[in-house]
Amino acid sequence: MTEPARTIVNVPAQAKRGEVIEIRAVVQHAMESGYRRTELGELIPRDIVRIFRCTYNNVEVFRAEFHPAMAANPLVSFTTRATESGTLVFEWRGDHGFSAQASASIRVS
Amino acid sequence: MLRFSLQLVGVAALSVFSVCVQADIPLADRRSGEHFMRAETRAMQNDPTANPATFALLEGEALWQKKIGSADKSCFACHGQAEKNMRGVAARFPTLSQGRLMNLEQRIQACRVEQQRASPWPYEHRELLALATYVGTQSKGLPITPSNVEGMQAHRDAGRALFQQRLGQLNLSCAQCHDARWGAQLSGNPIPQAHPTAYPLYRLEWQAVGSLQRRLRNCMTGVRAEPFAFGEPGLVQLESFLMWRARGMPIETPGLRP
């Protein structure tokens, strides 16, 4: 990876305490399954995102393992409860040392 | 008796003729490919935080500013703000430029080689598609206004002839599906009218952004014909005809299709 992978995260800017909020995160990644072959019949090595984690003020609120059948540019959507103002950090790790990070802040009133 | 059978032949010939030459879709009945998608896919397209083509758009935006080639020039150095100076440009392509029929990707490629003095990208290169997506998006919502440069009509006519030309082992023309049978089902999927309003677009089937030429080649292999090579003049003529056929419809780049 020459440039850091692009990410898009969608977190509500503000929420009421105790409210269930929806969070969406997308990472730019080709998710090469490892099952495809080139025109010459050579196997294209697997290159996928393996782990996605989201922490909310350093507490893990969501984690997912990715597998070869997942689409390129995987989109993850999940909910959590707004507990306090702070930062959500998103982290993706994958094959060949792939790593991407994003963060978003939320104000809870 | 002889006269009767001649009449029959005449009727038969007439009906064969009417199958071959389809009338154009009336302007008011034209629908973008968006119309034929599921609500979920449309929602994904219209939400920039869910549409994967957004990545191509962001990449194109960065490339616009990037100095490259032995001229060490960026797109911005000549063209300035894309939001201002590229507005409406994609709605006019393909057009004649330097005496050659070019689509938007070919025009970008020509700039890269002649102005930036960099080596050309291969067709469907990610960066080329990203720049085309970025330039295309500057025309989002604007009506398609086909170029009226002298000589364009001949290319459009050639494109129309190709559109109506039966091809491949299935012996089908574009018009037979997209003029005569739009809205019907083809292996479970609705047949759209084939208006190229959202290119380059992200196709879920491709798992990537691709050009109109990639899509046209798909249909050619679909009817089991030998597809035209990328950049072949016939393909650009077909593009010119399709853009004319979609004249006045709004540009939707960056699009998403199933």
Mean pLDDT across chain A: 94
> What pLDDT score was predicted for residue B63?
97
Q: Give the A:B interface size as CB pairs under 8 Å.
A: 31
- Tell me whether residues A26 and B52 touch, CB distance under 8 A: yes
- Tell me whether residues A31 and B207 touch, CB distance under 8 A: yes
CB < 8 Å & 24+ apart, contacts of B3-8: none
Judge: domain A46-74+83-109, CATH 2.60.40.10: yes
Pairing of strands A14-15, A99-108: parallel
Task: Find chain B residues with C-beta within 8 A of A72's C-beta.
Answer: 52, 207-208
B43 interface with A at CB cutoff 8 Å: no
CA dist list (Å): B133 to B61, B113, B138, B203, B254: 9, 19, 9, 13, 6
Strands (E), B24-179: 95-97, 100-102
Per residue in B156-196, pLDDT tens?
999 999 999 999 999 999 999 999 999 999 989 999 999 99
Per residue in A39-74, pLDDT tens?
999 999 999 999 999 999 999 999 999 999 999 999
Q: Which 50-89 residues of chain B touch chain A by CB within 8 A?
A: 50, 52, 54-55, 58-59
State which H helix or E strand residue B208 sits in. Answer: strand B208-210
pTM, 2 dp: 0.87
Contact residues for B82 (Cβ-Cβ < 8 A; gap 6+): B61, B64, B75, B76, B134, B135, B138
Mean pLDDT across chain B: 91
How sure is the predictor about B14, in pLDDT bands with cuts at 50, 70 and 90? Answer: very low
Per the CB < 8 A criterion, the answer to whether B89 and B139 are in contact is yes
- Spatial separation of the C-alpha atoms in residues B57 and A31, rounded to whole Å: 19
- Spatial separation of the C-alpha atoms in residues B254 and B210, rounded to whole Å: 11
Structure tokens at B157: 């006519």
